[in-house]
Every structure is written in structure tokens, then in C-alpha cells.
């Protein structure tokens, strides 16, 4: 289904350029409000944001747009994306809205939506909104305008929710943990969660100024976390991205574990406890070694399209609870309705505490295939898809790799990039194939 504005994770772009400009955002909120009014007389919408300086401007535009359509608004202030999803469900709101561009730099921003159940909305809902954008606005009469108020204890409610996902018979007492919030939405919340569960917490990326989000810190820049874990002699390091729905995890030796490995760890604990999982969902990017290891546990493993929304759709279709991406978007649907970096970190810590083993020891049977991912800047129509020369080169390398590797080329849903992934049994082969394909693109 073709959509003009919505990508794999809402609407995202450079601030001040369409569509991330106040006039469009006001119109977007107005149109979403009208869609809500089709099924509800007095809808209520929650709005949360990360720490980007542009969040104030976009928050005001959203508020005005919703109010003009007769929709009430509750402002949450800076709050992780999964926190907005949780409170939308807990407050019985009609919709949750997040102002964030996740792991992008501060000059980008975006808008994403959650249903009343705290889950991502369907492609069809997004298409309905886009159709409404082509229509003239219908301002409600003054007597029917929406009102706005603020939920002052939003952060505290979400902290308690995160803590409730950690088994009550366990504690983090005696553990030293470095927490990197990427100068983003969890800058106050993440340290509090681990501290209140007993850990000695050292912080990194917890001093936002509106323009330093994801700047050299966080899940997309784990080098800073690795260095601080070693410097402080910490047991673990936890890195989130700007809106805290993504996790990277570091052990006391400074080893970094990606989302594929963390998904395996979460799965192994559930299997050890005798839970009947049925299966696990990864993506087209999930490392083949993790797929093999999960199937060895007697579980099914299926691949969804890249994007946590597609992992969620597959989980719901199968009635399963665990899934995720190598980027660190992990889902445990018996804990939360959406991916949550903090809850995922607690699940991984819980796995290690129960087994009384470090992550590396728990993963000794999982030897990841070397995987190379190159991002190729690419603007304009996707002419590369129809390139006979590129398709011939892909076919040639696939024949050479056989069953000892994989090639995946796809357009990013959030940035003007083509992502080239090559997996092989040795790193040099993966590098050379990825470089050849990227050069041609």
C-alpha cells in the first residue's frame, strides 16, 4: 500500500522542511482528530516527546490541530516512546502521539502514533489519514473545541511500570550499571529504574540540551558506553536511543551484544522456565546463527520485514510473545504492547541473574555469522531496484555464497539510504561482496 508521508516508523524528516514543519503538523493532527471523531464523540489524545529543541514547536502544532477538531489533549512532556504507549493504554486514551526521530540527529524529528491498546497502528489507518489530508479542514464550533491539560506524574507512572516487569524475587543490589540515555527521552527515567531496583548507577548521555540527542552516545554510538563500563569497572552497560525503544547491552569486559543475541538470551530464559513460546519472530536481517540456535531449542523461527511494526504484526498473527531486530528493537508482548529498551534490558539482566552466568557464557553455543551492513546515500526514485547490472551482480554473489551466506538490499524506511547487508561465514568475503554491491548502487 503506497503512502506519501508515513514510513516504517511514522512520519520523519528534517525540521523546517516538509513534512516536519508547523503548518503540516497542525493539519496532520487536525486530520487525525477527524478520523478519531468518526468513531468517538469526544476523543482524548496523549502527546509525549523526546528532548529535541524542535519538540516544543511541534507539540504546540499538534495540540492546536487536535483541539481544532474537537479532540482533548493530555501533554506528557519528555517520555520514552514505550512510555507513551503504556500510558495511552493505562489512561484509556483514544490515541498516543510521540514527537521523536528516534536515533536520528537533533535536526530531524518525527511523529508516530499508538492505538488505544498501546500498539502501532495499521497501514490502512495511516492511509485513511493521508486521504483526509487531501480534504479541506473542518473546524469545529467554539463550543466543541478540545481542551488541553498536563499529566504531571507521567514519568513516575512509567518508572513503576518498568519496574513491575522485573521478577519480584530478584534484585539488582550489588551490581554496578552504566546507563546511557543518549541525551534523549529516558534521561531521568532510565537511571531511576535501575537505581530503584537496587543497582549502583553511573550515567552517560543524561544531560540533554535540545541539540545533543544521539550525539556520540546512545545505542547508535556504543563506543562511549564501552569505554565507561571499563573505566568504572561496571558489571553491565545499557545504552538506549533517543526515544528509548532500542537497546544495546555491554558486559563487564566491554563486549557489545546486539539485538539478535539479546533476543536469544530472552528466549533461553523463557525456555529454561518451561514457558510454551511456540516460536520467535526475527526480521530479514536477523543473523542466521540465532535462527539456528532458536530452532535447536525446539521453537519455530520466522522472519518479518525490517521494522518493529512488522515483527509485532507477525507476533500477533501467530499468538507469540518474543521477537526483535538486531538493531535492538525487542518485543516481549507479555510485558508490554510495544518494543521497550528499558524493559528489554531488565529481561536480559533477569536472564543473567537467574542463570548466574554472564551473557557471553550463555551465548557460547551461538557463533554469529559475520554480517556487514553498509548504508549507501540515495535520493530520488528507487531506480536501483530495476537495474539489470545490479541484479546480475547479486545473482552472481548469491551463487558463490550458496547456503553459507545471505544478501539483502533494501531502502531505508526512515532515511534517504539504501541498506546493503551481506552475511557470510568469513568477514572478508562479507566485506568484499558488500563493497562491490554498494559501489554499483
Residue pLDDT, tens place only, 88-138: 999 999 999 999 999 999 999 999 999 999 988 888 899 889 999 999 999
Tens of pLDDT, residues 153-180: 999 999 999 999 999 999 999 999 999 9
What span, in angstroms and rounded, lies between the C-alpha atoms of 50 and 101? Answer: 8
Average of pLDDT values for 412-424?
88
Which of 54-68, 281-295, 298-312, 383-397 shows the highest mean pLDDT? 54-68
Identify the three-state secondary structure at position 382: coil
What span, in angstroms and rounded, lies between the C-alpha atoms of 344 and 249? Answer: 10
Could you confirm whether domain 259-362 is CATH 3.40.120.10? yes
| pLDDT higher than 70, residue 1 | no
pLDDT band at 2 (very low <50, low <70, confident <90, very high): low
Which candidate, 384, 385, 345, places its Cα nearest to that of 181? 345
Q: Can 102 be counted among the known catalytic residues?
A: yes
- Fold topology of 371-440: TATA-Binding Protein (3.30.310)
Identify the three-state secondary structure at position 65: helix
Which candidate, 272, 289, 242, 260, places its Cα nearest to that of 112? 242
- Fold topology of 11-154: Alpha-D-Glucose-1,6-Bisphosphate; Chain A, domain 3 (3.40.120)
Measured in whole angstroms, the distance separating CA 441 from the mean position of its chain's CA atoms is 27
Burial (CB count within 10 angstroms: exposed 0-12, middle 13-18, buried 19+), residue 382: exposed
What span, in angstroms and rounded, lies between the C-alpha atoms of 301 and 291? Answer: 6
**Higher per-residue confidence, 75 vs 378:** 75
Average of pLDDT values for 129-151?
95
357: region left, alpha or beta (phi > 0 left; psi from -120 to 50 alpha): beta
**Higher per-residue confidence, 383 vs 216:** 216
| pLDDT higher than 80, residue 60 | yes
What span, in angstroms and rounded, lies between the C-alpha atoms of 174 and 179? Answer: 16
Sequence spans of domains, the chain: 11-154, 172-255, 259-362, 371-440
172-255 and 11-154 share a CATH fold: yes
The dotted CATH code for 172-255 is: 3.40.120.10
Q: Which three cell numbers stand for residue 230?
A: 571499563
Tens of pLDDT, residues 19-56: 999 999 999 999 999 999 999 999 999 999 999 999 99
Which candidate, 6, 87, 91, 100, places its Cα nearest to that of 53? 100
What's the pTM value of the predicted model, to 2 decimals?
0.89
What span, in angstroms and rounded, lies between the C-alpha atoms of 232 and 39? Answer: 54
Catalytic residue (choose from 102, 119, 268, 344):
102
pLDDT confidence of residue 214: 98
Average of pLDDT values for 313-340?
96
Amino acid at each position: 500500500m503506497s503512502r506519501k508521508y508515513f514510513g516504517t516508523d511514522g512520519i520523519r524528516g528534517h525540521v523546517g522542511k516538509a513534512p516536519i514543519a508547523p503548518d503540516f503538523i497542525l493539519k496532520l493532527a487536525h486530520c487525525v482528530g477527524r478520523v478519531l471523531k468518526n468513531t468517538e464523540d469526544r476523543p482524548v489524545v496523549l502527546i509525549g516527546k523526546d528532548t529535541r529543541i524542535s519538540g516544543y514547536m511541534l507539540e504546540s502544532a499538534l495540540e492546536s490541530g487536535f483541539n481544532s477538531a474537537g479532540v482533548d489533549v493530555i501533554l506528557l512532556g519528555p517520555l520514552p516512546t514505550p512510555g507513551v504507549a503504556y500510558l495511552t493504554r493505562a489512561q484509556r486514551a483514544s490515541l498516543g502521539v510521540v514527537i521523536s526521530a528516534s536515533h536520528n540527529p537533533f535536526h530531524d524529528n518525527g511523529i508516530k502514533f499508538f492505538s488505544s491498546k498501546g500498539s502501532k497502528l495499521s497501514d490502512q489507518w495511516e492511509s485513511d489519514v493521508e486521504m483526509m489530508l487531501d480534504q479541506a479542514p473542518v473546524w469545529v464550533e467554539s463550543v466543541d473545541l478540545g481542551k488541553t491539560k498536563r499529566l504531571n506524574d507521567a514519568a513516575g507512572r512509567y518508572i513503576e511500570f518498568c519496574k513491575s516487569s522485573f521478577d519480584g524475587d530478584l534484585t539488582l543490589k550489588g551490581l554496578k550499571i552504566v546507563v546511557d540515555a543518549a541525551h534523549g527521552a529516558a534521561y531521568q527515567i532510565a537511571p531511576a529504574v535501575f537505581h530503584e531496583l537496587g543497582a549502583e548507577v553511573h550515567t552517560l548521555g543524561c544531560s540533554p540540551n535540545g541539540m545533543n540527542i544521539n550525539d556520540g552516545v546512545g545505542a547508535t554510538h556504543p563506543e562511549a558506553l564501552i569505554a565507561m563500563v571499563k573505566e568504572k569497572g561496571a558489571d553491565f552497560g545499557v545504552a538506549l536511543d533517543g526515544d528509548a525503544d532500542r537497546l544495546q547491552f555491554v558486559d563487564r569486559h566491554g563486549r557489545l551484544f546486539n539485538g539478535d543475541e539479546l533476543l536469544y538470551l530472552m528466549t533461553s530464559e523463557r525456555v529454561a522456565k518451561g514457558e510454551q513460546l511456540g516460536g520467535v519472530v526475527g526480521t530479514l536481517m536477523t543473523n542466521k546463527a540465532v535462527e539456528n540456535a532458536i530452532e535447536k531449542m525446539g521453537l519455530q523461527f520466522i522472519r518479518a520485514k525490517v521494522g518493529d511494526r512488522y515483527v509485532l504484526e507477525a507476533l500477533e498473527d501467530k499468538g507469540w510473545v518474543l521477537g526483535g531486530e538486531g538493531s535492538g528493537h525487542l518485543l516481549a508482548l507479555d510485558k508490554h504492547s510495544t518494543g521497550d529498551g528499558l524493559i528489554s534490558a531488565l529481561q536480559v539482566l533477569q536472564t543473567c541473574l537467574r542463570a548466574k552466568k554472564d551473557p557471553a557464557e550463555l551465548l557460547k553455543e551461538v557463533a554469529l555469522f559475520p554480517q556487514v551492513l553498509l548504508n549507501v546515500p540515495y535520493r530520488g526514485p528507487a531506480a536501483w531496484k530495476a537495474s539489470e547490472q545490479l541484479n546480475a551482480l547479486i545473482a552472481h554473489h548469491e551463487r558463490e555464497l550458496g547456503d553459507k551466506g545471505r544478501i539483502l538490499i533494501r531502502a531505508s524506511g526512515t532515511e534517504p539510504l539504501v541498506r546493503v547487508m551481506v552475511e557470510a561465514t568469513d568477514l572478508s568475503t562479507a566485506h568484499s561482496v558488500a563493497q562491490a554491491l554498494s559501489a554499483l548502487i
